[in-house]
Amino acid sequence: MGTKLNGTWISAYKYDEDDRLVKAATGIPFNEIFTFNKDTFNFKQFKYQLFNYERTDIFKLKGNKFVIANNEPYLSDVIESLTYDSIVINGLNSGWNRVYKRLADSLKNKTPEFKLTGKSFVRNYRRWADTIHFVNDSVYTSNNYKIGNSELKWERINKDGFDILFTNIYPPFVLKKRIGKDILLSTFEYEKEDYILTEIE
């Protein structure tokens, strides 16, 4: 299964041993990304998540046990294949199953670099709309969401050509391309959903 893991995997959702969906106690969505390349992996969390954890190391699979640096069991994690584009990592210490979706190369952002900082966008989804303003390189505002007196946080990273947007409200987004004032993006919680951010003055 090692080489079958090659590629980039984005967090989707968690469920417990009774198949019930698990929401984060912090209220921050499941924001993680794994990249596997032969015997090397990189793991990155949203930097405003609880631990702001990132690690690169060698790994191998002993059966379906995920073993780092030849001798370190990674939280006794077990990797199982769900489908070609889904894996579940079972953390025996937490009792949670974490589902990740493989990102297809077609989702890589090939448009010239564009900025979000200092700009405002409308996001329309079905009959629902939200206005988002990226205040600076870490804080944004939303017309529809508040977390008490806490600031809404965001982080944008490039991972092997994938343009990833983490926030502390939504599952991670993949920014696919910019066309005029529109940014096309997708998220992969329970199924792939496509959105458009339209820049406004």
- State yes or no: pLDDT of 72 exceeds 70: no
Half-sphere exposure of residue 194: CA atoms within 13 angstroms, side-chain side: 6
* Alpha carbon 35 to its chain's center: 12
The whole-model pTM stands at: 0.85
- State yes or no: pLDDT of 121 exceeds 60: yes
- Identify the CATH number of the domain in which residue 62 sits: 2.40.128.280
H helix or E strand, kind and range, residue 106: none
Q: Which residues contact 131 (CB under 8 A, 6 or more apart)?
A: 120, 121, 122, 123, 142, 143, 200
Q: What is the pLDDT of residues 82-92, one digit of tens each?
A: 677 888 887 65
List b or e across 99-125, with b for residues whose CB sees 16 or more CB atoms inside 10 angstroms.
bbbbbeeebbbeeeeeebeebbbebee
* Mean pLDDT for all residues in the chain: 83
Same domain for 18 and 86:
yes
Domains in the chain, number: 2
Q: Rounded CA gap, 150 and 147, in Å?
A: 5
pLDDT bracket for residue 59 (50, 70, 90): confident
Same domain for 55 and 141:
no
Q: What is the pLDDT of residues 153-198, one digit of tens each?
A: 999 999 999 999 999 888 899 999 999 999 999 998 888 899 999 9
pLDDT of the residue at 94: 60
Residue ending a domain, choose from 76, 105, 134: 105
- State yes or no: pLDDT of 52 exceeds 90: no
Same domain for 116 and 66:
no
pLDDT bracket for residue 128 (50, 70, 90): confident
Residue ending a domain, choose from 79, 105, 131: 105
Containing structural domain, residue 145: 107-200
